[in-house]
Structure 1
Amino acid sequence: MFSLQKKIGIFLGATLLTASPAFAFDAGLIDSASFDYGTGAKVRLVRVGLQSDWDPRWRWLASNGRHLSGYWDVSAAYWRGTAHRGVRGDRQHIGVIGFTPVLRYGREDKLGWYVEGGIGANLLSELYDNYDNKLSTAFQFGDHVGIGYITQNKWDIGLKFQHYSNASIKRPNSGVNFAIISARYNF
């Protein structure tokens, strides 16, 4: 049976992915949707997200048809650990909701190659304890760096390195790392 914390995480994630998009699509706030798959030490991740580009006036370092700007990312994820409490084969299932502001350096026409990085806030449905990695708080910072390419038909394919940690607010705090492939469609 799910714990209260897990139920709250599932409810918030479902609310995020159903109620918010309906309003945001009508209001024109959502610019893209994404699907990510990641892998780490004895843990896998799948994540869906919705993105909203920053105001077009928020641009820096513009030159040669490139600039620095960004977007807001709201996501819901599922982690599956395969060595819960250090026991190989013992599974741990965690829901994660997150909000991340992301800086992106790319072309003015939003096509071709880009680099990006972001630091956001995440809430886990339960404490992570997998393969001798432990997180002692449900709140975690999630930071990533990545590269990607946006095609003419609006698909954005990227690779990211993602790190979750509570910045040593409470120990233990071994952190969790993922290598992620991302597919995003721009509306």
Structure 2
Amino acid sequence: MKPLISLALASALSLSLSSLAQAADVTAAIGQSGDSEMVYRLGLQSNFESRWWASDTGHLSGYWDLGYTYWQGGSTASNHSVSLAPVFVYEFAGNTLRPYIEAGIGVALFSSTELDKNRLGSSFQFEDRLGFGVRFSGQEIGLRALHYSNAGIKQPNDGVEAYTLHYRTSF
């Protein structure tokens, strides 16, 4: 089962890398886990080409997010994760400042199944995210909550959360 999951994730990553390479934004984030350990994240984003439900209020769009997260260890060794997620964004209309809310569900691979007091059960995890912020001049700043869990595929399934402040810029 583990080789099958790894193969599926590698295929998804390779397909997504081609779209990410076309016009990638970069995000840097810093925050804390639910157990107050520091979390550092770097990501590449590629916007969807489509917009839906455009109105005077705003529109729905999204992006692919490929991220690397460093989980600074406290009582246990540090951990690393790589994730890939489609993220849907509702961006409110505005001239210079455009508030937004976002949500997404993706997959992640952790380097270890232990993260401080949490036992993840498997290296494979699902990534759920909720966030909000403001976009301006090709940049954004926002807050994000990320939850990782293997959805009960393997026990134990303690899961882990991260709460981050992020900055995104376009190149």
Does 2:104 align with 1:118?
Answer: yes
Partner of 1:61: 53
Does 2:128 align with 1:143?
Answer: yes
Alignment size in residue pairs:
154
1:52 counterpart (46, 50, 62)? 46
Mapped contact 1:42–1:83 kept (Cα < 8 A): no
d(CA) in 2 for partners of 1:150, 1:80: 29
What is the CA distance between 1:61 and its match in structure 2? 2.2
Mapped contact 2:56–2:93 kept (Cα < 8 A): no
1:26-37 to structure 2, matched below 5 A, reads: 29-37=22-30
Larger Rg: 1
What is the CA distance between 1:108 and its match in structure 2? 6.1
Partner of 2:91: 106
Q: Give the gaps of 5 or more residues in structure 1.
A: 1-11, 85-91
d(CA) in 2 for partners of 1:65, 1:52: 24
Does 2:158 align with 1:174?
Answer: yes
Provide, for residues 48-97 of structure 1, a one-character-per-residue CA deviation record: whole Å limited to 9, x for no partner. Answer: 11110001xx222222151111000111111112122xxxxxxx111211
Identity %: 37
Mapped contact 2:72–2:78 kept (Cα < 8 A): yes
Q: TM-score, normalised by structure 1?
A: 0.75
- Secondary structure of 1:35's counterpart equals strand
d(CA) in 2 for partners of 1:59, 1:71: 11
AA matched with 1:170:
K
Mapped contact 2:79–2:115 kept (Cα < 8 A): no
Partner of 2:141: 157
2:81 counterpart (93, 96, 102)? 96
d(CA) in 1 for partners of 2:141, 2:40: 15
